[in-house]
């Protein structure tokens, strides 16, 4: 689900916590390596609720692995957005320097900025996904 977090933030965070688990504390996240080591640049988001064609800046997304799912956070035009789903609903693939993630209602195309950090993130994503299932 793609949610705008600036309006009624607490309600959206509570819904997200119920669906994919609550966010971990910073020290626990660092210890268990749950935060994405790299930011990905967003190439496109389908269906296009957000106009990325008119954006003159690079929009980065940062992922967080949670107990039952994954959450990605990005900021565009002074608005915070969160894209999240359960691990079982997520599929992904890599082709060249492009990384495609398919959420239940959205297709997210990303540009890989750091290959080594991307590999580490994919290993942790597989590990988290297999532990949750």
What's the number of domains the chain is made of? 1
pTM over 0.75: yes
Sign of CA dihedral 43, 45, 51, 57: negative
N-terminal to C-terminal alpha carbon distance within the chain: 20
pLDDT for 133 equals: 43
Expressed as residue numbers, the domain containing 77 is 2-132
CATH number at residue 42: 2.30.29.30
Q: How far is it, in rounded angstroms, from Cα 117 to Cα 22? A: 24
Write out pLDDT tens, residues 32-51. Answer: 555 656 788 888 888 866 76
């Amino acid at each position: 689900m793609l949610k705008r977090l600036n309006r009624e933030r607490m309600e959206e965070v509570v819904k997200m916590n119920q669906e994919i688990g609550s966010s971990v504390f910073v020290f626990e996240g660092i210890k268990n390596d749950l935060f994405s080591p790299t930011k990905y640049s967003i190439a496109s988001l389908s269906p296009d609720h957000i106009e990325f064609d008119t954006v003159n800046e690079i929009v980065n997304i940062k992922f967080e692995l949670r107990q039952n799912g994954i959450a990605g956070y990005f900021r565009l035009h002074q608005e915070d957005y969160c894209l999240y789903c359960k691990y079982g609903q997520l599929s992904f693939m890599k082709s060249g320097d492009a990384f495609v993630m398919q959420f239940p209602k959205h297709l997210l195309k990303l540009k890989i900025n750091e290959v080594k950090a991307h590999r580490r993130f994919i290993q942790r994503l597989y590990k988290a996904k297999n532990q949750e299932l």
